[in-house]
Amino acid sequence: MRLDKKLVLTLILVLTVTTAAILVWAQDQRRQNTAKVLEDLKPFAQVYERIVDYYVTEVETEEIIEAAIDAMLEELDSHSIYLSKHEWENLMIDTRGEFGGLGITISIRDDFPTVISPIEDTPAYRLGIQGGDQIVEIEEESTEGWNSEQAVSKLRGQPGTQVDITVYREGLEDSLYFTVMREIITVPSVPYMENLNGVGYIRVSRFGERTADELEEAIVTLERQGVDGLILDLRSNPGGLLDAAREVSELFLGRDTLIVYTESRIPDGNQKFVSTARRVHDRSPLAILVNGASASASEIVAGALQDNGRARLFGQTTFGKGSVQEIYDLADGSSLHVTSAIWLTPKGHPIAGEGLTPDTPVADGTEDGDVSLRRAVGYLESE
Element (H, E) at 187: none
Pairing of the two strands 229-233 and 286-290: parallel
CA distance linking residue 23 with residue 31, whole number of Å:
12
On the CB side of 166, CA atoms within 13 Å amount to 12
Give residues with Cβ within 8 angstroms of 268, minimum separation 6: none
Active site residues: 296, 307, 321
CA distance linking residue 373 with residue 196, whole number of Å:
11
Count the residues in the chain.
383
- 369: which DSSP letter? S
Residue ranges of E strands in 204-322: 229-233, 258-264, 272-274, 286-290, 311-315
CA distance linking residue 197 with residue 222, whole number of Å:
11
Pairing of the two strands 229-233 and 199-203: parallel
CA distance linking residue 122 with residue 178, whole number of Å:
14
Residues paired with residue 315 on neighbouring β-strands, in sequence order: 290, 361
Q: Are 307 and 349 in contact (CB under 8 A)?
A: yes
Helix axes 148-155, 85-92, angle to 10 degrees: 60
CA angle 63, 332, 85 (to 5 degrees): 70
CA angle 305, 278, 350 (to 5 degrees): 25
Picking from 139, 132, 133, the residue whose alpha carbon sits closest to that of residue 165 is 139
